[in-house]
């Protein structure tokens, strides 16, 4: 099978990481993959903030959990009140993806960049997890300054990144009926 398709099919969300620092060349390769994602009208409407400071990563998790704990949705509240839960699963790197607010299709652009980064990381045997719940930190007043988000950009997602401390099972069966053909 084609190498790219093999990597896509083997990629899983990783929720346990080794505490080792990622090699600079590997991190750059992942970021470069994000930079080469397709974007609407080639606007490249993303900005990546690489957080390697463990204290800041832990603070981001704690403050996001505080926001989650006040939610009405049971599963979000349960995660926010779980003392053992860490939003970034102990990953040594968190990539915050911000979107340029005035772009044509910024959320789609950023999502494409994230997917490129996830696939590139898997090809390097690095683990990743796309973190949507990071928005509970992004809404905090301190987030913009702490993360040095450029003017005109808004953080939308985060990616936990590190060396895998788990080997997840095979991908679950894909849902039937997701494709139809019109000839």
Tell whether the model's pLDDT for residue 1 goes beyond 80: no
pLDDT category at 17 given cuts 50, 70, 90 is very high
The token pair that represents 180 in the structure block? 């139809």
Q: Is 163 helix (H, G, I), strand (E, B) or coil?
A: strand
What pLDDT score does 173 carry? 86
Task: For the chain, list the domains and their CATH numbers.
Answer: 14-163 (3.40.109.10)
Q: What is the pLDDT of residues 122-166, one digit of tens each?
A: 999 999 999 999 999 999 999 999 999 999 999 999 999 999 998
More confident residue, 170 or 90: 90
What pLDDT score does 172 carry? 85
Q: What is the pLDDT of residues 154-168, one digit of tens each?
A: 999 999 999 999 888
The token pair that represents 168 in the structure block? 């997840």
Proportion of the chain above pLDDT 70, given as a percent: 100
What pLDDT score does 170 carry? 80
Q: How many CB atoms lie within 10 A of CB 73?
A: 10
Contacts within 8 Å (CB) and 24+ apart, 29-34: 29/120, 29/124, 30/95, 30/117, 30/120, 30/121, 30/124, 30/126, 30/161, 31/95, 31/117, 32/120, 33/116, 33/117, 33/119, 33/120, 34/95, 34/97, 34/113, 34/114, 34/116, 34/117, 34/120
The stretch 45-71 carries a mean pLDDT of 98
Tell whether the model's pLDDT for residue 178 goes beyond 80: yes
The token pair that represents 83 in the structure block? 């003392």
Q: What is the pLDDT of residues 83-104, one digit of tens each?
A: 999 999 999 999 999 999 999 9
Q: How many helices (H) and strands (E) does the chain have?
A: 7, 4
The token pair that represents 54 in the structure block? 């463990």
Average pLDDT value for the chain: 96
Q: How far is CA 81 from CA 25, 58, 85, 175, in A?
A: 37, 15, 8, 32
Tell whether the model's pLDDT for residue 58 goes beyond 80: yes
DSSP designation for 165: S
């Amino acid at each position: 099978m084609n190498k790219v398709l093999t990597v896509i099919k083997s990629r899983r969300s990783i929720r346990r990481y080794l505490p080792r620092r990622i090699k600079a060349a590997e991190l750059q390769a992942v970021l470069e993959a994000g930079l080469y994602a397709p974007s609407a009208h080639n606007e490249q409407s993303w900005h990546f903030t690489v957080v390697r400071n463990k204290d800041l990563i832990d603070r981001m998790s704690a403050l996001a959990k505080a926001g989650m704990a006040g939610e009405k949705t049971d599963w979000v509240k349960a995660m926010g009140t779980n003392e053992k839960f860490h939003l970034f699963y102990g990953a040594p790197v968190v990539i915050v993806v911000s979107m340029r607010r005035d772009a044509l299709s910024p959320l789609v652009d950023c999502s494409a960049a994230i997917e490129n980064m996830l696939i590139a990381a898997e090809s390097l045997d690095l683990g990743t997890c796309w973190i949507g719940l990071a928005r509970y930190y992004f809404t905090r007043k301190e987030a913009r300054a702490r993360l040095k988000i450029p003017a005109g950009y808004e953080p939308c997602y985060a990616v936990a990144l590190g060396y895998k401390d788990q080997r997840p099972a095979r991908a679950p069966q894909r849902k039937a009926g997701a494709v139809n053909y019109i000839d």
